[in-house]
Structure 1
Amino acid sequence: MELSQDVKFWLNFIHPVLMWGLLAASFYALYLGVQVRRTRYAEGEVKKELIKGRYNVKHYQIGSVILALMVLGTLAAMGVTYINNQKLFLGPHLLVGLAMTGIIAVSASLSPFMQKGQNWARYTHIVLNSVLLALFSWQAVSGVQIIQNILSKR
């Protein structure tokens, strides 16, 4: 089945829109993670109030959604690129995107260890997600450059 040129063109924008949403969701997950950490170390009434926010549950849930959508978004972007160009462009944006997909998978895989109170897993999770956010921010900029390139060819 051959897709029309208009469909192929508009498919280019699914990945960037999804990823910008995930970048925003990632910063929200960071906020929730900070609240989880505050709750863990708080005492007395402050801790009781923080527990009511259920930040740990929200952090876990948003992290799970981000993981799933990032993996699917990465695969979709590669698929759309291949559909439109009959090849993938091996460059920094693709390689960093693949590295991010691996990083988020490893970070999420630490959850069982964190739930058992393993501090090494918590610190590793924090470091991996800090690297992930830095790479994600760079990807947002390089992705805009790619979209500008696509638009200039239309």
Structure 2
Amino acid sequence: MPEALAYNLNFLHPLLMLGLLALSSYGMLLGIKAKKTRTADAETRKQLIKGQFAKRHFQIGSLILALTVLGTFGGMAVTYLNNGKLFVGPHLLVGIGMTCLIALAVSLTPLMQQGNLIARKVHVGLNMAMMTLFLWQAVSGFQILNKIWENRPA
């Protein structure tokens, strides 16, 4: 693989993850609006239902799951291709953990659609944990990116 291509591949994962962090924030906003719609009085609910927040939250959540899995394994693949090994440390382990959290949160969808309140609360808790870890991942990711930038080929 040409050296320039190998080096530039290092930036694919961070760009995808930044976009995914923004998309996850939007998904969270849609989830909050979907809850507001579910719990609103009849008149307010009529207005809020037009926004189709629950449907959009479901669609965005599906996209977030797919991109999280692709981003996690893509980042690991690029690291392995460029270094011949993975660096097992907090960034990698937390990233894998986040992928598990989002998969678990999404797997609760059928129960939530049946009105299971416990599943809904666990879904929210898993996603809040994932978002908290995601913010930490952004900081640790920028530290890694800075090391890559400092060691760029001449």
State whether TM-score is above 0.5.
yes
CA RMSD of aligned residues (A): 0.4
Partner amino acid, structure 1, of 2:142: V
CA–CA separation in structure 2 for the residues paired with 1:84 and 1:120 = 44
2:100 to 99, 102, 106: 102
Whole-Å separation in 2 of the counterparts to 1:145 and 1:71 = 22
CA distance in 1, matches of 2:73, 2:88: 15
Equivalent positions of 1:64-83 (< 5 A) are: 64-83=62-81
Shift of residue 45, structure 1, vs aligned partner: 1.6
AA aligned opposite 2:95: G
Residue of 28, 32, 35 corresponding to 1:34: 32
**Alpha-carbon distance between aligned partners in 2 of 1:29 and 1:122, rounded to the nearest angstrom:** 15
Aligned identity (percent) is: 53
Work out the CA distance in 1 between the residues paired with 2:118 and 2:43.
28
| 1:80 CA drift (Å) | 0.3
User: Residue 119 of structure 2 aligns to a residue in which SS?
Assistant: helix
Q: Which residue of 2 aligns with 1:50?
A: 48
2:121 partner letter: Y
Paired residues for 1:1-154 under 5 Å: 3-154=1-152
SS in 1 for 2:115: coil
Structure-2 separation of matches of 1:97 and 1:80: 15
Q: Secondary structure at the match of 2:69?
A: helix
Number of equivalenced pairs? 152
Equivalent residue letter for 1:32 = L
Tell me the CA shift for residue 27 of structure 1: 0.6
- Unaligned segments of structure 2, at least 5 residues: none
Gaps of 5+ in 1: none
Alpha-carbon distance between aligned partners in 2 of 1:6 and 1:103, rounded to the nearest angstrom = 35
Deviation at 1:20, TM superposition (A): 0.4
Distance 2:76 2:96 in 1: 10
Q: Residues of 2 paired with 1:39 and 1:76: CA distance? A: 37
The normalised TM-score by structure 2 is 0.98
4+ long deviations beyond 3 Å:
none
The one-letter amino acid paired with 2:83 is: N
